Amino acid sequence: MQQSKTSLETQSATLHFKPGKPIDFTQIDRSVDRAGFTTGEITIWAKGTPKVEADGRLVFVVSGTNQALPVADGEEAARLKAQAGKEISIVAKVDRKQQPPRLLLIGPADPKPAGAKGMGEMKGTKGM
């Protein structure tokens, strides 16, 4: 992790990850739990390339890491398939109930924080 910022007022945390490092959502859950808090909803802003696997499933390959995150089916996923092979930015919630975790696309990302590459930011701890 490159930087973290927590807010007791909003009961949230913003984590900035080092470019080129994959994210282990299970490890984040464990770390937050060990600190005495509960991980809530996680939203990521990521830059990468949508890819349609041989079996037709959609994954999002994060730039700089080659971490392939499965994408949940839905209207946004159908639109994302049309962007397969192009580097784009997305915003997605992470469904950690499924293994491996699935991305629930919210839409295209707003401009990313300056200097961020790949998975630049993630929000989401509750119960602080």
Six token digits for residue 86: 């192009």
pLDDT value of position 121: 44
112 or 66: whose pLDDT is higher?
66
User: Is it the case that residue 120 has pLDDT exceeding 60?
Assistant: no
33 or 118: whose pLDDT is higher?
33
Does 108 sit behind a cis peptide bond, omega within 30 degrees of 0 on the bond before it?
Answer: no
- Report percent pLDDT > 70 for the chain: 84
List of residues 6+ apart from 42 with CB closer than 8 A: 25, 28, 93, 94, 96, 122, 123, 124
Cβ(93)–Cβ(106) below 8 Å:
yes
Distance, in Å, from the CA atom of 29 to the CA atom of 93, rounded to the nearest integer, reads 15
Query: pLDDT per residue over 22-73, tens digit each?
Result: 888 888 889 889 988 888 888 998 899 999 999 999 999 999 998 999 999 9
pLDDT value of position 109: 57
List of residues 6+ apart from 109 with CB closer than 8 A: 45, 46, 47, 89, 90, 91
DSSP reduced 3-state for 31: helix
pTM for the whole structure: 0.78
pLDDT value of position 8: 80
